[in-house]
Structure 1
Amino acid sequence: MKEVKASMAGSVWKLVAKEGEEISEGQDIAILESMKMEIPIASEQKGTVKEVKVAEGDFVNEGDIIAIIE
């Protein structure tokens, strides 16, 4: 099990992956918006999205868990 964490503080602009979805290494899970920039948050491993911990519009800080990959 691997936690996908926010690389910086920002708002969750878009969730790309859904719970139960099979994803590959490097595939985007979510896109954050910070300082008018879009920052993709990608999975570091292949697997299944077990849980998405945030919703679109949520504010996250650096290190907050975005999703859990199994």
Structure 2
Amino acid sequence: MDGAIVDVRVEQGSHVTKGQLLVVLEAMKMEHPLKASIDGVVKRVQVSQGEQVKNRQLLIEIQAHDADVLAN
């Protein structure tokens, strides 16, 4: 949804786990925590605190951990 970025909790290269808080978005006078849906490494952070964002805009790109590496 359209809104403003209140807080960015990760940076490029950060390792994240599923459920970890990445960004807080303020929309419709409420704060919405945006969490990682997978374990992985942050490849790109495309927003900063105070920035206005649009619906369906890519905010953070995460590359999933390789399942073969995790199995060994």
TM-score normalised per structure 1 = 0.83
Bigger proportion of residues as helix: 2
1:41 to 34, 39, 46: 34
The TM-score, its normalising length taken from structure 2, stands at 0.81
| Matching residue within 3, 10, 14 for 2:3 | 10
Give the 4+ runs in structure 1 shifted more than 6 A: none
Return 5+ residue gaps in structure 2 as ranges: 64-72
The percentage of aligned residue pairs carrying the same residue is 32
Give the superposition deviation at 1:27.
1.0
Higher strand share: 1
Q: Which has the higher Rg, Structure 1 or Structure 2?
A: 2
Structure 1 residue 9, shift from structure 2 partner: 1.1
How many pairs does the alignment contain? 63
Q: 1:67 aligns with which of 33, 57, 60?
A: 60
